[in-house]
Protein backbone atom coordinates (compact mmCIF):
# COMPACT_ATOMS: atom_id res chain seq x y z
CA UNK A 1 0.00 0.00 0.00
CA UNK A 2 2.78 2.44 0.97
CA UNK A 3 6.37 1.95 -0.18
CA UNK A 4 9.44 4.09 0.48
CA UNK A 5 12.78 3.38 -1.16
CA UNK A 6 15.94 5.33 -0.41
CA UNK A 7 14.03 8.41 0.76
CA UNK A 8 16.18 11.33 1.85
CA UNK A 9 15.23 14.75 3.18
CA UNK A 10 17.36 17.71 4.23
CA UNK A 11 16.46 20.91 6.00
CA UNK A 12 19.31 23.19 5.02
CA UNK A 13 22.56 21.51 6.03
CA UNK A 14 20.81 19.00 8.30
CA UNK A 15 19.98 15.57 6.90
CA UNK A 16 16.72 14.45 8.54
CA UNK A 17 16.08 11.31 6.48
CA UNK A 18 19.08 9.36 5.19
CA UNK A 19 17.77 6.68 2.88
CA UNK A 20 14.56 5.33 4.40
CA UNK A 21 13.11 2.03 3.13
CA UNK A 22 9.67 1.13 4.45
CA UNK A 23 6.65 -0.97 3.44
CA UNK A 24 3.11 -0.84 4.80
CA UNK A 25 0.78 -3.51 3.45
CA UNK A 26 -2.93 -2.93 2.88
CA UNK A 27 -4.82 -3.49 6.13
CA UNK A 28 -1.62 -3.34 8.18
CA UNK A 29 -0.87 -1.19 11.23
CA UNK A 30 2.75 -0.05 11.39
CA UNK A 31 3.99 2.04 14.31
CA UNK A 32 7.04 4.26 13.98
CA UNK A 33 8.87 4.68 17.27
CA UNK A 34 12.06 6.54 18.15
CA UNK A 35 13.41 9.59 19.91
CA UNK A 36 12.39 13.18 19.25
CA UNK A 37 13.98 14.54 16.10
CA UNK A 38 14.72 11.10 14.67
CA UNK A 39 12.70 11.77 11.50
CA UNK A 40 9.45 9.91 12.26
CA UNK A 41 7.07 12.77 11.54
CA UNK A 42 9.05 13.81 8.47
CA UNK A 43 8.40 10.35 6.99
CA UNK A 44 4.65 10.93 7.27
CA UNK A 45 4.89 14.46 5.88
CA UNK A 46 6.83 13.22 2.86
CA UNK A 47 4.23 10.52 2.17
CA UNK A 48 1.39 13.03 1.88
CA UNK A 49 3.50 15.75 0.29
CA UNK A 50 3.51 18.25 3.15
CA UNK A 51 7.29 18.01 2.78
CA UNK A 52 8.99 17.34 -0.54
CA UNK A 53 11.59 14.57 -0.26
CA UNK A 54 14.96 15.23 -1.91
CA UNK A 55 15.74 11.76 -3.27
CA UNK A 56 14.31 8.26 -3.43
CA UNK A 57 10.77 7.23 -4.29
CA UNK A 58 7.48 6.98 -2.44
CA UNK A 59 4.50 5.09 -3.86
CA UNK A 60 0.98 4.87 -2.45
CA UNK A 61 -0.88 1.92 -3.97
CA UNK A 62 1.29 2.24 -7.06
CA UNK A 63 0.93 6.02 -7.45
CA UNK A 64 4.20 7.95 -7.27
CA UNK A 65 4.32 10.76 -4.72
CA UNK A 66 5.18 13.71 -6.95
CA UNK A 67 3.41 16.84 -8.22
CA UNK A 68 1.27 14.80 -10.61
CA UNK A 69 0.34 12.09 -8.13
CA UNK A 70 -0.30 14.14 -5.00
CA UNK A 71 -3.89 15.23 -5.69
CA UNK A 72 -5.00 11.61 -6.04
CA UNK A 73 -2.96 10.50 -3.02
CA UNK A 74 -4.43 13.19 -0.79
CA UNK A 75 -7.92 12.01 -1.68
CA UNK A 76 -7.01 8.49 -0.55
CA UNK A 77 -4.67 9.06 2.39
CA UNK A 78 -5.89 11.07 5.38
CA UNK A 79 -3.77 12.51 8.19
CA UNK A 80 -4.46 13.07 11.88
CA UNK A 81 -2.19 15.70 13.38
CA UNK A 82 -0.61 16.09 16.79
CA UNK A 83 -2.18 19.53 17.29
CA UNK A 84 -5.64 18.67 15.87
CA UNK A 85 -5.61 21.40 13.14
CA UNK A 86 -9.36 21.92 13.32
CA UNK A 87 -10.85 25.08 11.84
CA UNK A 88 -11.48 27.15 15.00
CA UNK A 89 -14.41 29.19 13.66
CA UNK A 90 -16.32 26.23 12.21
CA UNK A 91 -18.45 23.88 14.24
CA UNK A 92 -17.42 20.31 14.90
CA UNK A 93 -19.91 19.12 12.28
CA UNK A 94 -18.65 21.61 9.70
CA UNK A 95 -15.07 20.53 10.33
CA UNK A 96 -16.02 16.95 9.46
CA UNK A 97 -18.04 17.54 6.30
CA UNK A 98 -15.92 20.36 4.84
CA UNK A 99 -13.38 18.15 3.03
CA UNK A 100 -15.90 15.70 1.48
CA UNK A 101 -17.82 18.65 0.05
CA UNK A 102 -14.83 20.62 -1.25
CA UNK A 103 -12.39 17.79 -2.06
CA UNK A 104 -14.68 14.95 -3.13
CA UNK A 105 -17.53 17.25 -4.26
CA UNK A 106 -20.10 15.25 -2.32
CA UNK A 107 -23.59 16.78 -2.08
CA UNK A 108 -23.83 18.76 1.13
CA UNK A 109 -26.79 16.81 2.53
CA UNK A 110 -25.01 13.48 1.96
CA UNK A 111 -21.73 14.70 3.47
CA UNK A 112 -23.54 16.21 6.45
CA UNK A 113 -25.46 13.00 7.18
CA UNK A 114 -22.28 10.94 7.03
CA UNK A 115 -20.46 13.43 9.26
CA UNK A 116 -23.18 13.00 11.90
CA UNK A 117 -22.73 9.22 11.72
CA UNK A 118 -18.95 9.53 12.07
CA UNK A 119 -19.26 11.84 15.07
CA UNK A 120 -21.53 9.27 16.71
CA UNK A 121 -18.90 6.63 16.04
CA UNK A 122 -16.27 8.59 18.00
CA UNK A 123 -18.79 9.58 20.74
CA UNK A 124 -18.89 13.23 19.68
CA UNK A 125 -22.42 13.53 18.24
CA UNK A 126 -23.56 15.58 21.25
CA UNK A 127 -20.93 18.22 20.38
CA UNK A 128 -21.77 18.60 16.68
CA UNK A 129 -22.70 22.28 17.04
CA UNK A 130 -19.79 23.19 19.35
CA UNK A 131 -16.72 25.12 18.29
CA UNK A 132 -13.38 23.32 18.74
CA UNK A 133 -12.27 25.76 21.44
CA UNK A 134 -15.02 24.48 23.72
CA UNK A 135 -13.67 20.91 23.59
CA UNK A 136 -10.97 19.10 25.51
CA UNK A 137 -7.88 17.93 23.66
CA UNK A 138 -9.10 14.36 23.57
CA UNK A 139 -12.44 15.47 22.16
CA UNK A 140 -10.74 17.58 19.48
CA UNK A 141 -8.56 14.65 18.47
CA UNK A 142 -11.59 12.38 18.14
CA UNK A 143 -13.14 15.01 15.86
CA UNK A 144 -9.87 14.97 13.92
CA UNK A 145 -10.22 11.22 13.43
CA UNK A 146 -13.84 11.62 12.30
CA UNK A 147 -12.69 14.29 9.84
CA UNK A 148 -10.06 11.91 8.47
CA UNK A 149 -12.62 9.10 8.09
CA UNK A 150 -14.99 11.44 6.26
CA UNK A 151 -12.68 11.28 3.24
CA UNK A 152 -13.24 7.49 3.01
CA UNK A 153 -9.47 7.00 3.02
CA UNK A 154 -7.58 3.87 2.03
CA UNK A 155 -5.00 4.70 4.72
CA UNK A 156 -4.58 7.09 7.64
CA UNK A 157 -1.32 8.64 8.83
CA UNK A 158 -1.27 9.49 12.56
CA UNK A 159 1.40 11.95 13.70
CA UNK A 160 1.80 11.46 17.47
CA UNK A 161 -1.98 11.70 17.97
CA UNK A 162 -1.82 11.53 21.78
CA UNK A 163 1.30 13.52 22.61
CA UNK A 164 -0.56 16.83 23.08
CA UNK A 165 -3.19 15.29 25.36
CA UNK A 166 -3.52 15.17 29.11
CA UNK A 167 -2.85 11.61 30.34
CA UNK A 168 -6.50 11.01 31.23
CA UNK A 169 -7.53 11.85 27.63
CA UNK A 170 -5.10 9.49 25.90
CA UNK A 171 -7.22 6.37 26.38
CA UNK A 172 -10.29 7.75 24.61
CA UNK A 173 -8.28 8.43 21.44
CA UNK A 174 -6.43 5.11 21.52
CA UNK A 175 -9.77 3.30 21.86
CA UNK A 176 -10.97 4.75 18.57
CA UNK A 177 -7.68 3.85 16.90
CA UNK A 178 -7.91 0.27 18.20
CA UNK A 179 -11.36 -0.03 16.66
CA UNK A 180 -10.02 1.16 13.30
CA UNK A 181 -7.21 -1.39 13.49
CA UNK A 182 -9.71 -4.17 14.20
CA UNK A 183 -11.69 -3.11 11.13
CA UNK A 184 -8.63 -3.43 8.88
CA UNK A 185 -7.79 0.23 8.26
CA UNK A 186 -4.27 0.70 6.90
CA UNK A 187 -2.50 2.92 9.43
CA UNK A 188 0.99 4.34 9.79
CA UNK A 189 1.32 5.73 13.31
CA UNK A 190 4.07 7.81 14.87
CA UNK A 191 3.70 7.15 18.59
CA UNK A 192 5.44 7.11 21.96
CA UNK A 193 2.74 4.80 23.36
CA UNK A 194 4.74 1.56 23.46
CA UNK A 195 2.00 -0.48 25.12
CA UNK A 196 -0.44 0.67 22.44
CA UNK A 197 2.02 -0.33 19.71
CA UNK A 198 2.49 -3.71 21.34
CA UNK A 199 -1.25 -4.37 21.42
CA UNK A 200 -2.31 -2.94 18.05
CA UNK A 201 0.60 -2.84 15.59
CA UNK A 202 1.32 -5.60 13.12
CA UNK A 203 4.80 -4.18 12.61
CA UNK A 204 7.06 -1.69 14.37
CA UNK A 205 9.91 0.31 12.88
CA UNK A 206 12.49 2.02 15.09
CA UNK A 207 13.72 5.28 13.56
CA UNK A 208 17.12 6.52 14.70
CA UNK A 209 18.91 9.58 13.32
CA UNK A 210 17.09 9.51 10.01
CA UNK A 211 17.28 5.79 9.22
CA UNK A 212 15.17 2.73 10.00
CA UNK A 213 17.49 1.01 12.45
CA UNK A 214 15.22 -2.01 12.89
CA UNK A 215 11.79 -3.13 11.76
CA UNK A 216 9.72 -6.27 12.01
CA UNK A 217 6.80 -7.87 13.81
CA UNK A 218 5.68 -5.75 16.75
CA UNK A 219 6.30 -8.39 19.41
CA UNK A 220 9.76 -9.22 18.01
CA UNK A 221 10.91 -5.60 18.00
CA UNK A 222 9.36 -4.57 21.31
CA UNK A 223 10.23 -7.73 23.25
CA UNK A 224 13.42 -9.00 21.60
CA UNK A 225 15.06 -6.13 19.71
CA UNK A 226 18.23 -7.05 17.85
CA UNK A 227 19.70 -3.58 17.42
CA UNK A 228 21.46 -2.12 20.46
CA UNK A 229 19.97 1.34 19.84
CA UNK A 230 16.45 -0.11 19.80
CA UNK A 231 17.06 -1.90 23.09
CA UNK A 232 18.48 1.27 24.68
CA UNK A 233 15.52 3.35 23.52
CA UNK A 234 12.94 0.87 24.80
CA UNK A 235 14.72 0.49 28.14
CA UNK A 236 14.68 4.24 28.60
CA UNK A 237 11.03 4.69 27.56
CA UNK A 238 9.63 1.73 29.46
CA UNK A 239 11.45 2.50 32.71
CA UNK A 240 11.13 6.26 32.88
CA UNK A 241 9.35 7.51 35.95
- Per-residue H/E/C for 219-238: HHHHHCCCCHHHHHHHHHHH
* pLDDT mean over 113-141: 95
Query: Does the structure show a pLDDT above 80 at 231?
Result: yes
Q: Which one has a higher pLDDT value, 237 or 11? A: 11
| pLDDT tens sequence across 39-93 | 999 999 999 999 999 999 999 999 999 999 999 998 899 999 888 889 999 999 9
Residue 52 pLDDT: 95
Please say if the pLDDT value at position 216 is more than 90. Answer: yes
What are the DSSP E strand ranges found in 37-179? 55-60, 63-64, 77-80, 155-159
pLDDT of residue 240: 56
Predicted local confidence at residue 241, as pLDDT: 45
In angstroms, rounded to a whole number, what is the distance separating the alpha carbons of residues 143 and 137?
10
Q: Is 6's pLDDT higher than 50?
A: yes
Is pLDDT at 239 greater than 90 in this prediction? Answer: no
pLDDT at 203: 97
215 pLDDT higher than 50? yes
Amino acid sequence: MITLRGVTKRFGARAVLKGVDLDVARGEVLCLIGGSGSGKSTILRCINGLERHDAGTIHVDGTLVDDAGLPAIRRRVAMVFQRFNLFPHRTVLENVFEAPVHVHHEPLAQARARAIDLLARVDMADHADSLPGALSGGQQQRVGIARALALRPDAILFDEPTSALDPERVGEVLRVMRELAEEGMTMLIVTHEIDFARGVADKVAFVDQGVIAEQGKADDILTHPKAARTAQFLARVLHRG
